[in-house]
Amino acid sequence: MNTFLENQNWRYATKKFDATKKISSQDLETLKEAIQLSASSYGLQPYKVLIIENPEIRKQLKPFSWNQEQITDASHLFVFANIIDLQANHISDYLINMANIRGLKIEDLKGYSDMMNTNIATGLNLEQKSIWSAKQTYLALGNLLNAAAELKIDVTPMEGFEPAKYNEILGLDKLGLNASLVATIGYRHGEDATQHYPKVRKPINELFETI
């Protein structure tokens, strides 16, 4: 646990990446697996994660990311795209996968299926479903941040972008997806002064209250 806390103190939102340094394929697979293992409501993982390596696409996205240099300088750009309108077929696909992995009969999962359909697919309106699924991407981001810190890889979560433009450029709107969150990933540049700033957080006694 001490190592975990040390890594959390080490990490920060990198402002300037070293464009010459790239993440190894092995470390990239570790980060992908960390996201795959992330908690999500019902275990549904109502999102897709695009890993943007193509420099030309990243140049197209940069103007719609407040022209932040991290978009093009980082080793990789991750785009978390939530399912806008989760339907019964998404739930069915999940349960089929569950049945196969756990050796269950699909009919044994009918009660779970009915609950999810009632609570989400038919129980929420379109806006509520989109908000709900977008929140799940932040849980996945948490796993990415923690895993990357263990590997001494920098991650900068970013909400400063235009989702509609990302959706258009990446073709997400045609897939029923919406760019909810992006993260640039790579290695801090030696000239990034932000890395030397003391971490600013609320004091423990102010942040927590035991009832």
Cα separation, 57 vs 80, whole angstroms: 16
- Structural domains in the chain, CATH included, are 2-37+46-85+126-207 (3.40.109.10)
Q: What is the pTM of this model?
A: 0.96
Give the per-residue pLDDT at 1: 72
As beta bridge partners, residue 183 has: 78, 157
Sheet holding 177-186, edge to edge: 47-52, 76-83, 177-186, 154-158
> Residue 79's pLDDT band (boundaries 50, 70, 90)?
very high
Local confidence band at 126 (pLDDT 50, 70, 90 cut-offs): very high
**pLDDT of 19-68, one tens digit each?**
999 999 999 999 999 999 999 999 999 999 999 999 999 999 999 999 99
Per-residue tokens: 60: 């197209």
